[in-house]
């Protein structure tokens, strides 16, 4: 019996080895035909970043990314297998073939473009400067001599420090809501917030008279495929184009962010 | 795990850290002076039996000692502007620290006052001391001498708790550390350095307080302050 057990274990190990080899081989390229013949499409979506990607009360993935992923499934006429991914897991999951492509609020950067291939942007958020009722800012130059609250270590802090408006004082808090609180309490002249967060706060505190001044930068997010999947990327770009002209993408954007998708330069 | 320590990148942030240290020292020294002065006054009020003033002091001490310091800071910084009192982050930190420390020192000094035996006050009366002389020579000075080491521990705790003020954007040492960390992503190195700085500050503060204790109350109190050992009754 012992020998039988040993043989069984060895065979299982070999089987797993072959299966993982096959998985690696599959990771080398994914064509549209592969996906159609498999009968379902595996899409990586972001989790833990509302409203772009989160889980609902039943534990199912939901959010902007999930709606877009389901639209894509509709265009492919295939059932969608959603794979929720945390930010650092997104690109590795794509590279190891765990997902066919990503719809995971991934911003194109030069560094990332060396490892994955990006489509046209399918979502975007604005980084807004929001002020109180008694003053409104229209440009970075207006922030001269003002106190601007930001979330420590955020992309808006980096962008504002880079902008280096003379006389502007950057006041740092631990999160977005405390930064907004500083503005409401009059301890800061403005706060820099992602538009999604900013609009939620404006809605919740109508009495504070907060107003959006201007957008000082815009982050576009793209779907991503593996480096060699040109065919898949071209198909996704076409699908994004179709979602844009049919108004489907605007509907998703309005549902989750409260406004249609902003116009972004394409590449 | 192999981690390569890179302390070199911190050198360019020397001014940032020094500014943080300086603000931490300023806030600590000022709040210790104001807080302990308020503590002496409030403890004297508290040791008087009955009266509305005593009730108010009791309420103040209990509220402050039973709520978190962070919440107290938020109320000073975010709450007071709601009633038209707007103070900057540094002032808010000083106010918060003073309010907090005053409550704790009130309680500590009160314990010292209660430890003064009734017979000593009677002895003062028998010697023809005025009420103020009794209060000064028989009650308050011996009371503070008794609790001075405990008071000093509270001062050091307050200095360390000043790091919490970074949450209301006061740019003291902990905020400097967080800034350098967010710029360099060298959190391990930054916090090792900052831990050593806080340790040095705490030991230096304790040494200064021991010197003050020696000058005010003599060598025995000073020695207890430095070592935090309980007093051995001879």
Q: Tell me the per-residue pLDDT of A51-100, one tens digit each, with 9 for 90 and over.
A: 888 888 888 999 999 999 999 999 999 999 999 998 778 988 998 999 99
**For residues B82 and A81, which has the higher predicted lDDT (pLDDT)?**
A81
pLDDT for the residue B226? 75
How confident is the model over B14-24, as a mean pLDDT? 96
- Cross-chain CB nearest to B169 (options A157, A173, A186): A173
Chain segment A216-239, per-residue pLDDT in tens? 888 889 999 999 999 999 999 999
Residues 144-183 of A with CB under 8 A from B: 149, 152-153, 157, 171-174, 178, 181-182
Q: What percent of chain B has pLDDT over 90?
A: 77
Residues 74-93 of B with CB under 8 A from A: 77-79, 81-82, 86, 88-89
Which residues of chain A make contact with B167, given a CB cutoff of 8 A? Answer: 173-174, 178
Contact, A238 vs A266, CB < 8 A? no
| Inter-chain residue contact A149 with B169, CB threshold 8 Å | yes
Which residue of chain A is at minimal alpha-carbon distance from B92?
A187
Which residue of chain B is at minimal alpha-carbon distance from A182?
B78
Cβ-based neighbours of A259, under 8 Å, separated by 6 or more: A195, A199, A253
In the structure, what pLDDT confidence band is assigned to residue A25 with cuts at 50, 70 and 90? very low
Terminal Cα-to-Cα distance of chain A (whole angstroms): 64
Could you give the CA distance from residue A236 to residue A93 in angstroms, rounded to a whole number? 18
Could you give the CA distance from residue B23 to residue B94 in angstroms, rounded to a whole number? 10
Which residues of chain A make contact with B168, given a CB cutoff of 8 A? Answer: 173
Which residues of chain A make contact with B178, given a CB cutoff of 8 A? Answer: 152, 172
How confident is the model over A242-256, as a mean pLDDT? 94
Strand partners, A151: A173
pLDDT for the residue B233? 46
Which residues of chain B make contact with A172, given a CB cutoff of 8 A? Answer: 169, 175, 178-179
Cβ-based neighbours of A248, under 8 Å, separated by 6 or more: A71
- Cross-chain CB nearest to B77 (options A157, A174, A187): A187
pLDDT for the residue B164? 96
Count CB atoms within 10 A of the CB of residue B58: 15
**For residues A33 and A218, which has the higher predicted lDDT (pLDDT)?**
A33
Chain segment B191-220, per-residue pLDDT in tens? 999 999 999 999 999 999 999 999 999 888
Which residues of chain A make contact with B77, given a CB cutoff of 8 A? Answer: 185, 187
| Inter-chain residue contact A172 with B169, CB threshold 8 Å | yes
Contact, B43 vs B103, CB < 8 A? no
Q: Is domain A126-218 classified as CATH 3.40.50.720? A: no
User: Domain spans of chain A?
Assistant: 2-125+220-257, 126-218
Q: What percent of chain A has pLDDT over 90?
A: 55
Number of residue pairs across A and B with CB atoms under 8 Å?
Answer: 36
Angle made by CA atoms A91, A97, A99, in degrees to the nearest 5: 70
Terminal Cα-to-Cα distance of chain B (whole angstroms): 55
How many Å lie between the alpha carbon of A189 and the closest alpha carbon of chain B? 13
Dihedral, CA of residue B116, residue B121, residue B123 and residue B124, to nearest 10: 120
B169 contact A CB<8A: yes
How confident is the model over B44-67, as a mean pLDDT? 92
Considering the domain A2-125+220-257 in this protein, what is its CATH number?
A: 3.40.190.10
Count CB atoms within 10 A of the CB of residue A253: 21
Give the torsion sign (CA, B181, B183, B189, B193). negative
Could you give the CA distance from residue B103 to residue A248 in angstroms, rounded to a whole number? 61
Per-residue pLDDT at A3 exceeds 70: no
Average pLDDT value for chain A? 87
DSSP A3-33: HHHHHHHHHHHHHHHHHHHHHHHHHH---HH
- Locate A129 and state its tokens: 């400067």
Domains of chain B plus CATH, in order, are: 12-227 (1.10.3720.10)
Per-residue pLDDT at A43 exceeds 80: yes
Any idea what DSSP says for residue B54? H
Interface predicted TM-score of the whole assembly (ipTM), two decimals:
0.74
| Inter-chain residue contact B182 with A153, CB threshold 8 Å | yes
How confident is the model over B7-27, as a mean pLDDT? 93
């Amino acid at each position: 019996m012992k020998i039988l057990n040993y043989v069984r274990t060895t065979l299982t190990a070999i089987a797993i080895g072959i299966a993982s080899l096959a998985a690696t081989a599959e990771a080398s390229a994914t064509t549209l035909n592969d996906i159609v013949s498999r009968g379902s499409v595996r899409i990586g979506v972001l989790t833990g970043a509302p409203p772009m990607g989160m889980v609902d009360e039943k534990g199912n993935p939901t959010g902007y990314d999930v709606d877009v992923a389901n639209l894509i499934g509709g265009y492919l006429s295939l059932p969608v297998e959603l794979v929720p991914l945390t930010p650092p897991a997104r690109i590795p999951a794509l590279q190891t073939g765990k997902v066919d492509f990503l719809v995971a609020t991934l911003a194109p950067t030069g560094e990332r473009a060396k490892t994955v291939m990006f489509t046209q942007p399918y979502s975007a958020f604005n980084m807004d400067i929001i002020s109180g009722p008694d003053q409104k800012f229209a440009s970075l130059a207006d922030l001269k001599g003002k106190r601007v609250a930001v979330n420590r270590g955020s992309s808006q802090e980096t962008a504002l420090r880079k902008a280096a408006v003379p006389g502007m004082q950057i006041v740092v808090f631990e999160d977005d809501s405390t930064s907004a609180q500083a503005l409401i309490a009059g301890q800061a002249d403005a706060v820099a917030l992602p538009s999604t967060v900013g609009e939620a706060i404006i809605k919740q505190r109508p009495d504070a008279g907060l107003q959006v001044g201007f957008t000082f930068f815009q982050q576009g997010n793209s779907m991503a495929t593996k480096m060699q999947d040109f065919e898949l990327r071209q198909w996704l770009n076409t699908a994004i184009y179709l979602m844009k002209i049919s108004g489907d993408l605007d509907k998703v954007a309005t549902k989750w962010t409260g406004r249609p998708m902003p116009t972004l330069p394409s590449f | 795990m192999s981690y390569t320590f890179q302390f070199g990148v911190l050198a360019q942030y020397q001014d940032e850290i020094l500014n943080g240290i300086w603000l931490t020292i300023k806030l600590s020294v000022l709040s210790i002076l104001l807080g302990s002065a308020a503590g002496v006054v409030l403890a004297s009020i508290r040791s008087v039996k009955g009266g509305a003033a005593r009730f108010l002091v009791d309420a103040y001490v209990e509220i402050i000692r039973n709520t978190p310091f962070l919440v107290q800071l938020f109320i000073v910084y975010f709450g007071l502007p709601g009633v038209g009192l707007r103070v900057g982050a540094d002032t808010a930190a000083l106010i918060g620290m003073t309010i907090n420390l005053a409550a704790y020192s009130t309680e500590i000094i009160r314990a010292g006052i209660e430890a003064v035996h009734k017979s000593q006050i009677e002895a003062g009366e028998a010697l023809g001391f005025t009420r103020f002389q009794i209060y000064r020579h028989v009650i308050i000075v011996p009371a503070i001498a008794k609790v001075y080491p405990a008071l000093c521990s509270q001062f050091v705790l307050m200095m360390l708790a000043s790091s919490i003020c970074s949450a209301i954007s006061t740019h003291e040492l902990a905020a400097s550390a967080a800034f350098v960390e967010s710029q360099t992503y060298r959190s391990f190195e930054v916090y090792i350095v900052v831990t050593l700085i806080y340790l040095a500050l705490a030991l230096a503060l304790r040494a200064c307080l021991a010197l003050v204790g020696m000058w005010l109350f003599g060598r025995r109190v000073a020695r207890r302050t430095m070592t935090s050992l309980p007093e051995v009754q001879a």
